Structure 1
Amino acid sequence: MTLLKRKSIEAVASRRPARGARSPEDGRGARGAQAAQREEKRMTPRFAPVTFSEMDGVRYLHFGTEWVQGAMRLRKPDAIELEYAQQMMAWLLFLSPSAPEFHVTQLGLGAAALTKFCHRQFSRARVTAVELNPAVIIAGRSMFGLREDDERLTVREQDAWDYVMDGAHTGALDVLQVDLYDATARGPVLDTTAFYKACRRVLKAPGVMTINLFGDHDSFPKNIVRICEAFDNRVLVFPEVHDGNVIALAFNGPAIDVSWDVLETRAKVLEDTTGLPAREWVKGLRAANANQEDGLRI
């Protein structure tokens, strides 16, 4: 039985030409860009029934279809079960969650794996989750072990668009983790250039956005082009996993110039302290991104 059906087209072939690609909005004046932003139409969220399945000790979240929206191993409820979700934590290679007032926000709660992990693992960090569907929040707390809010954890019933567009959040986040899918699972619910620019605005410098991208149709290259435009081409990708998911990292702030040896040393420490497969992240980033053979420069 194949449960993970979020497929994406091949990361390397699609990623490399995207660096030089231009958006159809290029060349418009400031007034035209503002008008385009006002006129952008977002996909209307489709609140299908929140459903569950279990297999081999793993509980899965669905939105009324076979598409998997999250998972939890019952014997390890605070661990991150799915490989693509583990890769969403790859910002740990570049940022330390022990920094003062460190703030991680998750757009799209899913089965709350990332939110729970960050809250439990990083005792000094503030953790926020933004989820529009109240049934998903209820499922997180009743079926996936998400704790009630406290002084470090906040779960907001809110549209992710409204969250990143709120000026109060400008430059407020160290990390933004984006995983926004509805019942159709055809691609991210929010995927415009304006949205990705807003994601960059809420980040500190340095700051990192990690995002789960979808494929098997044209959503993947379109999203990569728009993320590259919003983040000045400072974007890395992982090789695809689960027969489809591709995680991308986008960077705000100072340029990064680090040797692979340094990253591998950092990854070993992360594996020892978090249990995440960080050394595999380093291998994946090295393999899937062009012109990074001697070291990571972005």
Structure 2
Amino acid sequence: MKRPAAAPRTRSDTARRTGRGATRSTAQPELAEATISEGDGVRYLHLGTPWIQGAMRIRKPLKLELDYIQRMMAWLLLRDPDTLAQTRTLQLGLGAAAITKYCHAVLKLPTTVVELNPQVIHVCRQWFHLPPDDDRLTVVHGDAAAHVNDPTNLGSVDALCVDLYDHEAASPVLDDEDFYRACWQVLDDGGVMSVNLFGREASFDRSAVSIAAAFGVDCMAMLKPTPEGNVVVLAWKGLALPPREILQARAEILQSRWDLPAKKWVKLLSAFQTPTPSDPQPTP
């Protein structure tokens, strides 16, 4: 989810859907109108507001169009490029399917995505080139919280991307300590989580405290905000942040192999400081 951009100028089509990801309630959430608009060769996904929930360049459907979506892939810096093919990825919240398609079709990694509303999946397959499931892609119609709390999924993921905003885009719909502890548990040792937050919102400090309680502040880093205010937070399990020279070497490989702006990620990456008086440690 991204701050509003200039309004696209061409046609729009609509469908009914909820916000990205899941809510804590087991009741059926009210559906928001999903508006699909196009402008300057880019197709956008909205939820009845100017907020951009996802984007796709029509002639390059696998390209990561939005800056914050590119930064969500910064977890790659913490994975050895030589063993990347073994990385099991999970996305919570489908959005316009940009990360899901990239992990599946470009990086060719085992990819699972969890989306609460089946109509979101339908819209992505109809308008955003989300392919059918295959031996590497699994699209789950389900609740994100239930998925990470399912005991059968413990330790099943190496790279977890969390981008769970609804149509109001006020704060993540799953954002408390229990949720992030479940995210920690679903990661295998050496696993990395990336989370999209808004650095200019009051909810940012609350989110930071919750992530620190689950992962430990020494296992967190952040990228500087995008111009729109999106802050991508990285948190990891069972590893140490590699030295800067290793991150730079990996960034060179990522940039040359997949044309990702990885060298910029290293420059934007910094240690994380939470507003807590002490740094909680995770409980297995």
TM-score normalised over the length of structure 2: 0.83
Question: Which residue does the alignment assign to 2:17?
Answer: none
Say which of 136, 155, 176 aligns to 1:192.
176
How far apart are the structure 2 equivalents of 1:252 and 1:186? 28
Question: Which residue does the alignment assign to 1:102?
Answer: 87
Q: Deviations over 1:85-127 (max 9, x none)?
A: 001111111114745642100000000000000001223x210
| Aligned residues of 1:4 and 1:242 also touching (Cα < 8 A) | no
* Alpha-carbon shift at residue 254 of structure 1 (Å): 2.4
**Number of equivalent positions:** 251
Q: Deviations over 1:177-200 (max 9, x none)?
A: 000011111110101100000000
How far apart are the structure 2 equivalents of 1:120 and 1:109? 15
How far apart are the structure 2 equivalents of 1:164 and 1:270? 29
Say which of 215, 235, 242 aligns to 1:231.
215
| Aligned residues of 2:160 and 2:192 also touching (Cα < 8 A) | yes
How far apart are the structure 1 equivalents of 2:242 and 2:63? 31
* Alpha-carbon shift at residue 4 of structure 1 (Å): 2.7
* Alpha-carbon shift at residue 289 of structure 1 (Å): 5.0
Aligned ranges for residues 167-182 of structure 1 at < 5 Å?
167-182=151-166
Aligned ranges for residues 1-298 of structure 1 at < 5 Å?
4-5=3-4, 42=24, 45-96=29-80, 98-99=83-84, 101-123=86-108, 125-233=109-217, 234-258=219-243, 260-286=244-270
How far apart are the structure 1 equivalents of 2:227 and 2:65? 12
Structure 1's 262 and 96: CA in aligned 2 closer, same or farther, altered over 3 A?
Answer: closer
| Aligned residues of 2:51 and 2:169 also touching (Cα < 8 A) | yes
* Alpha-carbon shift at residue 82 of structure 1 (Å): 0.5
| Aligned residues of 2:62 and 2:106 also touching (Cα < 8 A) | no
Q: Deviations over 1:55-102 (max 9, x none)?
A: 211111011111110000111101110010001111111114745642
Q: Secondary structure at the match of 2:53?
A: strand
1:153 maps to a residue whose letter is L
Identity of aligned pairs, percent? 47
| Aligned residues of 1:83 and 1:242 also touching (Cα < 8 A) | no
Q: Secondary structure at the match of 1:88?
A: helix
What are structure 2's unaligned runs of at least 5 residues? 6-22, 274-284
Structure 1's 257 and 78: CA in aligned 2 closer, same or farther, altered over 3 A?
Answer: closer
How far apart are the structure 1 equivalents of 2:158 and 2:250? 19
| Aligned residues of 1:205 and 1:254 also touching (Cα < 8 A) | yes
| Aligned residues of 1:5 and 1:244 also touching (Cα < 8 A) | no
* Alpha-carbon shift at residue 215 of structure 1 (Å): 4.7
* Alpha-carbon shift at residue 262 of structure 1 (Å): 2.2
What are structure 1's unaligned runs of at least 5 residues? 7-40, 291-298
How far apart are the structure 2 equivalents of 1:53 and 1:100? 35
Aligned-residue Cα RMSD (Å) equals: 1.9
